[in-house]
Amino acid sequence: MPIELHTIGIKAVRLPQNLKRDEVAGIIMAGLAGALDHSLRPGDVIVDEASIRLPGALPFKVGKFHTSEGIIASPDIKAILFRASGALAVEMENGIVRNFAHQLDVPYWGVRAISDTAEEALDPRLFNMIDELGRPKLGAMSALFRPSLMKEALRLGAQAKNAGISLGRAVKTLVEAWPAPA
């Protein structure tokens, strides 16, 4: 089965709108997320409970995702969101991609690796340093000369790298478990 990889960016700003039902067997939405559940650690992998026709016995925790309009950076807001929604993690794309897959009438599997814990505060200035695809902006790098911001950026970068490795393994597992075409 051929596989296409699309980098859709933050808030799915580059989700390809030209895909057609007969060209798509299904969609796996993979990315990083912030934990809302205090038991989740950086690098843990979770699968969206709204995924369609998941195979049994996956080695990942399955639960609810919360798709947010923006970054949830405060532990207090994360705790409120966890209590109110019951979601394990917060991200900004899954709901959009899940709806897109539903419109195409194809299976959807959402998978996320945790990049930051429910207890961790994120400095909002860090998000001004990345573009719509999550890549560093060159002009914003001068902010890293602030020692506290540099320390946080390095910590989050290391956690994101660890989460990315876990995510890659998880996607491989999911692709191998994808049902064969009928």
Q: How many other CB atoms are found less than 10 A from the CB of residue 141?
A: 11
Residues 117/162, Cβ–Cβ less than 8 Å:
no
Enter the pTM of the model: 0.89
Q: Distance of alpha carbon 121 from its chain centroid, rounded?
A: 18
- Across 2-19, average pLDDT: 84
Residue 127: the pLDDT is 76
Residue 22: the pLDDT is 85
Q: What is the pLDDT of residues 72-130, one digit of tens each?
A: 999 999 999 999 999 999 999 999 999 999 999 999 999 999 999 999 998 887 777 77
| Residues forming a β-bridge with 67 | 91
Res. 19: pLDDT tops 70: yes
Residue 144: the pLDDT is 59
Residues 129/74, Cβ–Cβ less than 8 Å:
no
Q: What is the pLDDT of residues 133-150, one digit of tens each?
A: 777 777 666 665 677 777
Q: What is the pLDDT of residues 44-75, one digit of tens each?
A: 999 999 998 888 888 999 999 999 998 899 99
In the chain, what are the domains? 10-177 (3.40.50.1580)
Residue 62: the pLDDT is 95
Res. 25: pLDDT tops 70: yes
